[in-house]
């Protein structure tokens, strides 16, 4: 099942046009990515990095900007895993505002790495199960 998380668009995210500056949207996506790990795999991303020495850096991104994220908006991120490979995952993101307006969609491919060596490694079984169960909600298809 997809993960649904919320955050506000705060003042440091916006530019003089009063909309979120596009690099800040990618930063917001990464914050949602980190927050999603507890729901998906039952582990904080910080613990995965610092204690288990496992990371999932992004190696490919595609994004579409449908409408501006504005100061004061509440963003709901829907995140699901489209594909789990031997060492990579394809994450999908949809951002909507409080009016349910589609704002941003993106696909991020991450690769599982050993944080000490930064070498690619197979996704461990204790994470694979959670990642594979995080599919898109049927209601959103």
| Per-residue confidence (pLDDT) for residue 69, from 0 to 100 | 98
Decide if pLDDT at 140 tops 60: no
- The answer to whether the beta carbons of residues 62 and 82 sit under 8 Å apart is no
Indicate whether 139 pLDDT > 70: no
By CB neighbour count within 10 A (0-12 exposed, 13-18 middle, 19+ buried), where does 89 fall?
A: buried
**2 has pLDDT over 80:** yes
Question: For the segment 7-41, what is each residue's pLDDT rounded down to a tens digit?
Answer: 999 999 999 999 999 999 999 999 999 999 999 99
**Given pLDDT bands bounded at 50, 70 and 90, which one contains residue 100?**
very high
Question: Residue 77: pLDDT above 90?
Answer: yes
Number of domains into which the chain is organized: 1
Residue 47 tokens, joined? 């613990």
pTM of the model: 0.94
The pLDDT score that the predictor gives to residue 45 is 98
Chain centroid to CA 137: 16
Q: Which domain holds residue 108?
A: 3-140
**8-state DSSP, 18:** S
Q: What is the pLDDT of residue 137?
A: 82
- Residue 131 is inside which H or E element, if any? helix 125-132
What the block records as the tokens of 74 is 């509440």
Q: What is the CATH number of the domain that holds 113?
A: 3.10.129.10
For the cut 90, the answer to whether the pLDDT of residue 141 exceeds it is no
Contact 107, 65 (CB under 8 A): no
């Amino acid at each position: 099942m997809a993960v649904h998380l919320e955050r506000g668009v705060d003042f440091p995210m916006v530019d003089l046009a009063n909309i979120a500056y596009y690099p800040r949207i990618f930063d917001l996506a990464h914050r949602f990515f980190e927050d999603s790990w507890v729901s998906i795999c039952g582990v904080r991303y910080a613990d995965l990095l610092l204690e288990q020495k496992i990371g999932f850096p992004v190696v490919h991104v595609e994004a579409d900007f449908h409408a501006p994220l504005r100061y004061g908006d509440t963003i709901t991120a829907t995140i699901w895993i489209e594909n789990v490979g031997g060492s990579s995952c394809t994450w999908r993101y949809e951002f909507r505002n409080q009016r349910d307006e589609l704002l941003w969609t993106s696909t991020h491919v991450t690769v599982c790495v050993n944080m000490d060596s930064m070498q690619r490694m197979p996704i461990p079984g204790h994470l694979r199960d959670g990642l594979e169960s995080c599919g898109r909600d049927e209601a959103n298809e």
